[in-house]
A = this chain, B = another copy of it.
């Protein structure tokens, strides 16, 4: 039955996806005599973790019960007291853990604390599933940079635009809705200045209710952004940030006055140091970045190997022409091609979404 309840905990965790950052979204289920007596998922940052929510529901019944939790309970004082303490105090006699928390403040210490209190602990259930579920958080902890998702929209023949530059719309409304869902799930949506200047992109979440808005990041090396850009105008309502390496102080001030954050980054001509960009975002505790970059900036991210996951939306179009995706990211020979692992596909009406993880 352990597997059954762990699956429930994993499913429960999904309720908090995209809602509790920078905490990982976790699910907890408390079971006694074959009956679920408490369940919870991580609350928004600063509020209760999943374990606490579940314990509150279980109340005094928790004594002698088993807790299933997808990620190792924390044992440190953060915004909230340690979960391990609450578990011990509740009288829970057995804890089943999905995976260890790689956060150096936890990393096995949570389990150790529980064991030392005489609680039976089992760890390692559905690790592959949870590793995927918490991929943003795990990347953030283990690689010390945010998890980077490259999203692109291509015609069936692999073009990002027609030869005259037109690309509105390659994909259908179902695909675009999916993109908005994705924006709501990540901490950062990142685009280049060209997307913002040319398409006047807003990069916010639209058409969905009760969602968190991501931080909108624009890589704008020479601070070319127009003060009239929709992205600038909307900065009071939706957070936005400009990364640049060269720019007039007065313009920077104007942008700040409009409500944007600005961040100087090392750069050369019209390029920024992408690793430094990632470093800054990591320090800001932002653990996932959705790239909505045009072709040129996409190529730069691929060259820097800063792609953890691909999401390619194929629109129902044959376009021809020379606007082939990732042209400058030339692998030269078939043996040097990049492959994806864990390829998944999804049909979105007449569009196709292909997801996978580059094998670097």
A154-177 to B contact mask, C-beta < 8 Å, 1/0: 111111011110111110000000
Interface pair B159/A324, CB less than 8 Å apart? yes
Q: Give, as a whole number of angstroms, the nearest-CB distance from A259 to chain B.
A: 34
A354 to B156, CA, bound (A): 9
8 A Cβ contacts from A322-336 to B: 322-336
8 A Cβ contacts from A310-357 to B: 310, 312, 314, 316-341, 343, 345, 347, 350, 352, 354, 356
Residues of chain B within 8 A (CB-CB) of A155 are 158, 337
User: When the two chains form the complex, which single residue of B158, B335, B356 contacts A158, counting CB atoms closer than 8 Å?
Assistant: B158
This protein's copies in its complex: 2
Chain A residues proximal to chain B, CB less than 8 Å: 154-159, 161-164, 166-170, 299, 302, 310, 312, 314, 316-341, 343, 345, 347, 350, 352, 354, 356, 358
Interface pair A318/B326, CB less than 8 Å apart? yes
Q: Nearest CB to that of A334 among chain B residues?
A: B166
Q: Which of A159, A170, A299, A339 has the most CB of B within 10 A?
A: A159
Interface pair B158/A325, CB less than 8 Å apart? yes
A324 to B161, CA, bound (A): 13
Residues of chain B within 8 A (CB-CB) of A327 are 320-322, 324
Interface pair B158/A334, CB less than 8 Å apart? no
Interface pair A164/B333, CB less than 8 Å apart? yes
With known contacts A318-B326, A336-B162, A337-B155, A347–B350 Cβ distance under 8 A: no
Q: Interface majority SS on A: helix, strand, loop or mixed?
A: loop
Residues of chain B within 8 A (CB-CB) of A330 are 163, 320-322
Apart from A156-B354, A162-B336, A318-B338, 18 more pairs, CB < 8 Å: A155-B337, A156-B312, A163-B330, A166-B333, A167-B334, A299-B320, A317-B334, A317-B337, A317-B338, A318-B329, A319-B331, A320-B327, A320-B328, A320-B330, A322-B322, A322-B330, A324-B325, A343-B352
Q: Give, as a whole number of angstroms, the nearest-CB distance from A324 to chain B.
A: 3
Q: Which of A157, A317, A329, A339 has the most CB of B within 10 A?
A: A157
29 contacts between A and B (CB under 8 A): A155-B158, A156-B310, A156-B312, A156-B340, A157-B324, A157-B325, A158-B158, A158-B324, A159-B324, A162-B336, A168-B334, A170-B334, A302-B320, A314-B354, A316-B356, A317-B338, A317-B339, A318-B326, A318-B337, A318-B339, A318-B358, A319-B331, A319-B337, A320-B327, A320-B329, A322-B330, A324-B327, A341-B350, A350-B356
